Amino acid sequence: MTTLQSQTTHKLVAKTLRYSGYKATCVRNENFDFNNYEVIVKGIDNNEAKELQQRFSSMLKNSMINIINN
């Protein structure tokens, strides 16, 4: 996945989560070599973050989506 594709995908996920009532932000993380973007969601636990990540991965047919809790 290119950087532009990663950014576009993660912005879409963050926007969708915000519409659903979550406090989500798409951020750039320089620590990843292959995927520089992630979505930070405030107020959720690890299990909910994993579940959201699995749902978006299957919905968008993209396993490179990173959703983390804060």
**CB proximity list for 64: less than 8 A, separation 6 or greater:** 1, 6, 9, 34, 35
Tens of pLDDT, residues 33-47: 677 899 999 999 999
Element (H, E) at 41: strand 37-42
Rounded distance between C-alpha atoms, residue 9 and residue 4, angstroms = 9
Two tokens, residue 3? 């950087």
The per-residue pLDDT for 69 is 94
- Domains contained in the chain, number: 1
Q: Per-residue pLDDT averaged across 52-62, rounded? A: 94
Predicted TM-score of the model (pTM): 0.90
Instruction: Quote the domain boundaries for residue 29.
Output: 3-69
The per-residue pLDDT for 31 is 77
Partners of 68 in the β-ladder? 40
